[in-house]
């Protein structure tokens, strides 16, 4: 007997109902419906076009500054006497004192990477990037910036922004359907370099600002919330944002917006050591060279902490997002900004609607002509499949582009193909002399393995496209993967339920398929 347990019917009904509710906002505008409509991509809806330039000089200056700091530390260890050690965005320079231990100097300089050229002239030495080293720095900086931008704008991999390198140091960013271009520029314009540094207690920030001098090994930084407040913090970074595990928006004890964070194992170990050894001392939280806060260490802190400040809820959400994505390797400057209108997208949508309607009508006509009432049930499954795909895309707030539409069309064809395999298998069982109920049971049970194999191999391909692809390729893989899952549901469960209900209700003497 063909039977469908009550709980299976309930699950099928529940899935279809939820899919319909989630898909409805794409068709009608009803205020009380949950969820939102699917986002349309730049090629369908328009959006923002930004051309950014990476500040390579800032990275070059920072890298040379690190070289200078390492040389200073190494020279002290080797007891090398030197003077006038300084760095800028071109080179590192220093001069040896008399009897300055040239052997120790040469030992330290020999450890410098091949990316740099070391030039010595009598007592003076200069270090600068080699041509190949600078090109490598440039390439790595832009590639890293592209990856960080992608994480900030598309943390879930479903929005499909176009992020491409242009020339040597420029990055093209196209964000579909953006409602607030200024917020995008704010997300991209923030380097989000987070560091934890001890406050230097030898002099106050106000005194250092007035005198224009800070102790060696320290730096004067401004407060992020008060431009008249300054802090003298040690240059040495105790814990960096690279050690962040997670960051999320939350609230502090006063119910003000804050950012909760946790560190990885290495960061937790360093954080615990620093806070344990410096109880009673202010510990500055520095973001993009501005002191967000400088709380006093009251007890040893391990992996978890909180960043408080004068944040709004939106700012805390954005800051948590950029901290999770990671710090940009270099500041970005907006060279060009354009808004792309949806005119071309409207033509594409209209053409896509016509193609979809014509295609679905022809498919339904053909399958009904071929399989009669069973073809009508398969057509109902096709409509449900499309509804479920639309509902799933709305649920995850994916961005639909022309490649995404291609993925939907492909899965619609696969859904029909699954029903054709089942119906043809049932026909074979009928030719062998089986009864109608046995033929249906055997047809489904023997066709399912073939359907599963075909769909699972395609699903694996879509997963690999999502992992290794980006932009429109990811959009295609998302719609393809969702469509495979929904087509399996409609072919194996929904259409089968319709056939079982019809057979049990009409009890036909012969099965014509």
Sign of the Cα torsion 27, 30, 31, 35 reads negative
Residue found by looking up tokens 């800051």 in the block: 319
Residue 253 falls inside a structural domain: yes
The per-residue pLDDT for 159 is 65
Judgement on whether residues 40 and 68 belong to the same structural domain of the protein? no
pLDDT at 82 exceeding the cut of 80: yes
Number of compact structural domains in the chain: 3
The neighbour count for residue 467, using CB atoms within 10 Å, is 10
The residue among 467 and 191 whose pLDDT is bigger is 467
Judgement on whether residues 282 and 348 belong to the same structural domain of the protein? no
Per-residue pLDDT reduced to its tens digit, 341-396: 665 556 766 776 777 778 788 888 888 888 888 888 888 988 999 899 988 988 88
Judgement on whether residues 22 and 86 belong to the same structural domain of the protein? no
The per-residue pLDDT for 62 is 83
Judgement on whether residues 75 and 128 belong to the same structural domain of the protein? yes
**What is the CATH classification number for the domain harbouring 402?**
1.20.1640.10
Residues of the chain above pLDDT 90, percent: 12
Lowest mean pLDDT among 63-67, 158-162, 200-204, 383-387: 158-162
Per-residue pLDDT reduced to its tens digit, 207-231: 999 888 888 889 999 998 788 899 9
Judgement on whether residues 244 and 290 belong to the same structural domain of the protein? yes
Cα atoms in the Cβ-side hemisphere of radius 13 Å centred on 159: 18
54 forms bridges with which residues in the sheet?
332
Per-residue pLDDT reduced to its tens digit, 137-193: 999 889 888 888 888 887 766 566 778 888 888 998 888 766 566 777 777 777 778
Q: Which domain holds residue 17?
A: 6-44+343-506
The residue among 256 and 30 whose pLDDT is bigger is 256
In the DSSP assignment, the letter for residue 24 is G
Judgement on whether residues 113 and 216 belong to the same structural domain of the protein? no
Q: pLDDT-based confidence at 91, cuts 50/70/90?
A: very high
Instruction: Give the integer Cα–Cα distance in Å for 326 and 224.
Output: 20
Residue 333 falls inside a structural domain: no
Last residue of a domain, one of 87, 106, 134: 134
The neighbour count for residue 409, using CB atoms within 10 Å, is 17
Residue 437 falls inside a structural domain: yes
Judgement on whether residues 479 and 412 belong to the same structural domain of the protein? yes
In the DSSP assignment, the letter for residue 242 is G
**What is the CATH classification number for the domain harbouring 121?**
3.90.1070
pTM confidence score: 0.56
Judgement on whether residues 452 and 385 belong to the same structural domain of the protein? yes
- Mean of the pLDDT values across residues 435-449? 82
Q: pLDDT-based confidence at 32, cuts 50/70/90?
A: low
Judgement on whether residues 309 and 364 belong to the same structural domain of the protein? no
Q: pLDDT-based confidence at 73, cuts 50/70/90?
A: confident
- Mean of the pLDDT values across residues 244-266? 85
Residue 269 falls inside a structural domain: yes
The per-residue pLDDT for 384 is 92
pLDDT at 199 exceeding the cut of 90: yes
Residue 512 falls inside a structural domain: no
Residue found by looking up tokens 């505008």 in the block: 29
pLDDT at 460 exceeding the cut of 90: yes
The token pair that represents 186 in the structure block:
């704010």
Q: pLDDT-based confidence at 249, cuts 50/70/90?
A: confident
Per-residue pLDDT reduced to its tens digit, 479-508: 899 999 999 999 888 988 888 888 888 777
Per-residue pLDDT reduced to its tens digit, 283-337: 998 888 889 888 888 888 888 888 777 778 887 887 787 777 777 788 888 888 8
First-to-last C-alpha distance (Å) of the chain: 19
Residue 359 falls inside a structural domain: yes
**What is the CATH classification number for the domain harbouring 241?**
3.30.1360.200
What value does the mean pLDDT of the chain take? 83
The token pair that represents 474 in the structure block:
């990811």
The residue among 100 and 400 whose pLDDT is bigger is 400
The per-residue pLDDT for 127 is 92
Judgement on whether residues 422 and 488 belong to the same structural domain of the protein? yes
Residue 169 falls inside a structural domain: no
Which whole-number Å values give the CA distances from 344 to 27, 237, 341, 351, 352, in the listed order? 21, 51, 8, 11, 12
Judgement on whether residues 228 and 293 belong to the same structural domain of the protein? yes
What residues contact residue 463 under an 8 Å CB cut-off, 6+ apart? 477, 481
Q: Is residue 143 within 8 Å of 54, Cβ to Cβ?
A: no
- Mean of the pLDDT values across residues 391-402? 82
In the DSSP assignment, the letter for residue 167 is T
Residue 268 falls inside a structural domain: yes
Judgement on whether residues 36 and 67 belong to the same structural domain of the protein? no
Sign of the Cα torsion 176, 181, 186, 189 reads positive
Angle at 22 between CA 19 and CA 25, to 5 degrees: 135
The per-residue pLDDT for 1 is 46
The per-residue pLDDT for 427 is 85
In the DSSP assignment, the letter for residue 491 is I
């Amino acid at each position: 007997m063909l039977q469908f347990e009550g709980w299976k019917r309930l699950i099928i009904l529940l899935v279809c109902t939820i899919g319909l509710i989630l898909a409805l906002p794409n068709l009608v505008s009803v205020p009380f419906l949950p969820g939102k409509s699917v986002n349309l991509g730049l090629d369908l809806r328009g959006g923002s076009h930004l051309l950014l330039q990476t500040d390579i000089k800032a990275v070059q200056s920072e890298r040379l500054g690190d070289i200078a700091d390492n040389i200073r530390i190494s020279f002290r260890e080797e007891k090398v006497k030197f003077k006038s050690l300084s760095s800028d965005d071109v080179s590192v320079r220093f001069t040896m004192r008399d009897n300055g231990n040239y052997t120790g100097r040469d030992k330290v300089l020999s450890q410098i990477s091949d990316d740099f050229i070391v030039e010595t002239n009598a007592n003076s030495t200069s270090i600068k990037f080699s041509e190949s080293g600078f090109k490598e720095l440039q390439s790595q900086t832009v590639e890293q910036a592209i990856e960080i931008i992608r994480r900030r704008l598309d943390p879930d991999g479903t929005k499909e922004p176009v992020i491409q390198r242009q020339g040597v140091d420029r990055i093209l960013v196209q964000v579909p359907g953006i409602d607030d271009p200024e917020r995008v520029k704010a997300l991209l314009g923030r380097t989000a370099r987070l560091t934890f540094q001890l406050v230097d207690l030898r002099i106050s920030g106000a005194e250092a600002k007035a005198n224009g001098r800070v102790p060696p090994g320290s730096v004067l930084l401004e407060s992020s919330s008060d431009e008249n407040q300054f802090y003298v913090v040690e240059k040495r970074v105790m814990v960096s944002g690279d050690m962040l595990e997670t960051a999320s928006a939350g609230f502090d004890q006063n119910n003000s917006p804050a950012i909760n964070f946790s560190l990885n194992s290495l960061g937790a170990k360093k954080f615990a050591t620093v806070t344990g050894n410096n109880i009673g001392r202010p510990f500055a939280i520095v973001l993009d060279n501005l002191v967000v806060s400088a709380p006093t260490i009251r007890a040893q802190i391990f992996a978890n902490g909180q960043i408080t400040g004068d944040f709004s809820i939106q700012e805390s959400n954005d800051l948590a997002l950029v901290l999770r994505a990671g710090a940009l390797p270099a500041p970005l400057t907006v060279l060009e900004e354009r808004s792309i209108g949806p005119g071309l997208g409207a033509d594409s949508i209209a053409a896509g609607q016509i193609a979809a309607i014509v295609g679905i009508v022809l498919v339904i006509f053909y399958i009904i002509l071929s399989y009669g009432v069973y073809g009508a049930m398969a057509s109902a499954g096709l409509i449900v499949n499309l509804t479920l795909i639309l509902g799933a895309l709305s649920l995850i707030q994916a961005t639909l582009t022309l490649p995404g539409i291609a993925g939907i069309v492909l899965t619609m064809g696969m859904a029909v193909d699954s029903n054709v395999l089942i119906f043809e298998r049932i026909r074979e069982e009928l030719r062998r002399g089986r009864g109608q109920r046995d033929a249906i049971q055997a047809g489904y049970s023997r066709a399912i393995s073939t359907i599963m194999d075909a769909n699972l191999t395609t699903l694996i391909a879509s997963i690999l496209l999502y992992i290794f692809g980006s932009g429109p390729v990811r959009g295609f893989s998302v719609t393809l993967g969702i469509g495979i899952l929904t087509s399996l549901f409609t072919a194996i469960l929904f259409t089968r339920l319709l056939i079982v209900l019809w057979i049990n209700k009409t009890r036909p003497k012969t099965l014509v398929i």
